[in-house]
Chain A
Amino acid sequence: MAADKVDPIHQFHINKLIPIEIGGYDLSFTNSALFMVATVVVASAFLYLSTSSRSLVPTRLQSVSEMAYEFVGNMLRDAAGTQGMKFFPLVFSLFMFVLVANLLGLFPYFFTVTSHIIVTFGLAALVIGTVVVYGFMKHGLGFLKLFVPHGVPIYLLPLVVLIEVISFVSRPVSLSVRLFANMLAGHITLKVFSGFVVSLSALGTLGIAGSVLPLAMAVALTALELLVAFLQAYVFAVLTCMYLNDALHPGH
């Protein structure tokens, strides 16, 4: 079992809990799916129960829910203006989902949903898909002005358009990889330092004394990971707001 604990990759394994296979695709209910459900249930239950009293003077938990709501609302309004508020439910659910998934992942033995690139990529693709679909629906071909900035000399235009297109295409990649890599790296580091504690303390008295150092490191890293969990949810939401702003006002 000791060797198992030292393996920093073990926490990212996908285990089938209820095997399901449809049309040759493996659609099993896995531990990843379980923690997606847990994330949604925890976030929904918190938001629902904390606001159930609807008190004028909020309780602590209610004010947490309200703070999250107003925080995301202000973020979206600052980035995309009042027109952007039609995307408020999307941005708010993205923020809450990523935040709660990150936070749940910090519990020992819990699976971190956002440490799998396909999950973060799915969320990023949802954002970019919304931007593209809404952009073309609202502006038609005028949405393509997004790639043609104003005031660029005509001989530079092909180069600039190329750069703009590349930057647009790389957005879903950067959005998903940023979140995924932060979660993955943080959890691996945490596991490695915790593994040091276990393997050092197996070496006798001197080892136990020496294991204090990686233990302190693991505690500090846990605090850092808590910060990263918030920060990455925030970054994801902010970037979503900025991309949605492009869909609303493509002409810069």
Chain B
Amino acid sequence: MFVTSAFAQESAPAVEGGHTGTEGDTHSATGVPAEAHGVFPPFDPATFPSQLLWLAITFGLFYLFLKKVVMPRVGGIIDVRNDRITQDLDHAARLKGEADAAVAAYEQELAEAKTKANAIGQQANDAAKAEAEAARKKVEAALDQKLGEAEARISSIKANAMKEVGTIAEDTASAIVEALVGGKASKAEIAAAVKSVAR
């Protein structure tokens, strides 16, 4: 299919080239052998040895150049970059570790300070409580003493008063007896009478 169409296309310009002359010259100057053979160019075996030879030369040189120069270089660039990235990641991880440690240390110190503050507070609280208790006890003791003193005075005053009550009663009784009877009762009798009544 390709070959026949090629034939058709091929013959047309050849005829036209014959007409114009210059066209024909350029064609013959380039000396296209495929046209002469009438073979579809890619299938023309006449060109195979030269193409294979130059393919071997060019591709061989290309292979060697890539293998010896380009690939070590590109591989090196990529390796260096990967190394650098790993290194930087390690560095970042180390810094993060340091930061974490600092945070942990800070938190520990904070916790210690808190417990310390609590202990100090507790101590102060206890001391204040003990002091207050002592002061209370002292005041109570003083009050107890004053109460005792007061009670002792009251009882002595009462006793004195009671003693005076007897004298007053005896005086009153002798006065009454004198006024009523007109005689004088002896002091001993009156005292005995008052005592019996007072009982």
Contact = CB atoms under 8 A, between A and B. Distances in A.
Interface in A139-197: 180, 184, 188
Contact of B71 (A28, A88, A119, A184): A88
Contacts of A210: none
A16 B50 CA distance: 10
Nearest to B49: A25
A232 interface: no
Given A15-B30, A69-B71, A118-B47, A54 B55 contact: no
Interface string B76-117: 111011001000000000000000000000000000000000
B183 interface: no
Contacts of A119: 51, 55
Interface stretch (B62-70, B119-127, B143-151, B169-177): B62-70
A117 B43 contact: yes
Contacts of A56: 80-81, 84
- Interface of chain B, main secondary structure: helix
A82 to B, nearest CB: 14
A36 B58 contact: yes
B9 interface: yes
A199 interface: no
B65 A32 contact: no
A184 B42 contact: yes
Contacts of B10: 7, 9
Contacts of B41: 9, 12-14, 116
Q: Which of B9, B46, B66 is most buried by chain A, counting CB atoms within 10 A of its CB? A: B66
Interface in A39-67: 39-40, 43-44, 47-48, 51, 54-56, 58, 62, 65-66
A48 B9 contact: no
* Contact residues on A (Cβ < 8 Å of other chain), bracket: 35 or more
A179 B56 CA distance: 18
A69 B49 contact: no
B7 to A, nearest CB: 9
Interface stretch (B31-39, B132-140, B160-168, B184-192): B31-39
A47 B62 CA distance: 11
B196 to A, nearest CB: 133
Interface string A72-96: 0000000000000000111011001
Nearest to B6: A9
Interface residues of B, number: 51
- Interface of chain A, main secondary structure: helix
Nearest to A36: B58
A37 B44 CA distance: 21
A27 interface: yes
A93 B63 contact: yes
A206 interface: no
Interface in B1-54: 2, 5-6, 9-10, 12-13, 16, 23, 30-35, 40-44, 46-54
A65 B73 CA distance: 11
A39 to B, nearest CB: 7
Contact of B50 (A7, A28, A40, A69): A28
Contacts of A6: 9
Interface of A: 1, 3-4, 6-9, 12-16, 20, 25-30, 32-33, 36-37, 39-40, 43-44, 47-48, 51, 54-56, 58, 62, 65-66, 69-70, 88-90, 92-93, 96-97, 115-119, 122-123, 126, 180, 184, 188
22 contacts: A4-B23, A7-B9, A9-B5, A13-B30, A14-B34, A14-B47, A14-B51, A16-B31, A20-B50, A26-B50, A27-B50, A29-B50, A33-B51, A40-B58, A40-B61, A40-B65, A56-B80, A89-B63, A89-B71, A116-B42, A119-B51, A122-B59
Interface of B: 2, 5-6, 9-10, 12-13, 16, 23, 30-35, 40-44, 46-56, 58-59, 61-63, 65-67, 69-71, 73-78, 80-81, 84
6 tightest A-B CB contacts, nearest first: A33-B54, A89-B67, A36-B58, A12-B41, A40-B62, A25-B49
